[in-house]
Structure 1
Amino acid sequence: MTTNTDVRLIEVPKIQDRRGNLSVIEGATIPFISKRVYYLYDVPSGSKRGGHAHKEQQEFLIALSGSFDVILKDGKSSQTVTLNKPNLGLLIVDGIWRELRNFSSGAVCLVLASDEFDEEDYIREYKNFKLFKNR
């Protein structure tokens, strides 16, 4: 069973020159081949996103612009990670509840997912997540 200790920050390679920075996610940057990419933006002040876990899917979150907090729960402990650098991403493994909060103005959250959308992989109620973790 996965825990919050399995979640980790991964630095994305950054190429700097006088024209600006470029970061690339390829090969072994993340431990899965991305099969879906989506992004969150124009999140109203005070709004929350996430509020679910995945049974099998992994996700890699990056704050491309601005900042936001990711609250992670493994059924026993909770931790908060603030993402605010476009070359630092958060790998969220399967079986971890996540909530995204405190979006700054202009924040953009990029998500690379290990699989295509499958509603059956989602756990959307926290009580069901607790049952899933205690099976």
Structure 2
Amino acid sequence: MPADGWSLIREGTTPGSKSQVAGRGGSFSVTVREWDGTVAGEVERTRRGITADGSIRLTGDGTSFHTNGGLTGVELAYVGSHVQGRAWVVVDERTDVSVVAVGPSAQETYQQSAGQIDEMVDSIRMTGARP
């Protein structure tokens, strides 16, 4: 659910789709796709995607997270010359579905948007049904 002051850019709810909201100097997107692999494999794919052009670097190896909504996965933090953000990677191996949420912000607004992005991550729910 978008936080106050954030607006929906694109909507979709099927595997392979992406929903994105923007506001207050940042954006937040959630991509759901079929994934017949492990969380480690999806984390590696996400890492490669974040760092692909060489202008962004990861700031650690990733940490585990668990939300009130029941998601458990790996959180990655990253920084570039003009951007700072985090990515959350979740894989439900029972249903072969991955959820990747990404929240980049301009460095000067990162601290202001981080709390709201955390709230949006916490609002993500998986029903457990195979898409």
TM-score category of the 2 structures, normalised to the smaller one: 0.3 to 0.5
Q: Could you tell me the TM-score, scaled by structure 1's length?
A: 0.32
- Greater helix percent: which structure? 2
Structure with the larger RCO, 1 or 2 (CA within 8 Å, 6+ apart) = 1
Q: TM-score, normalised by structure 2?
A: 0.32
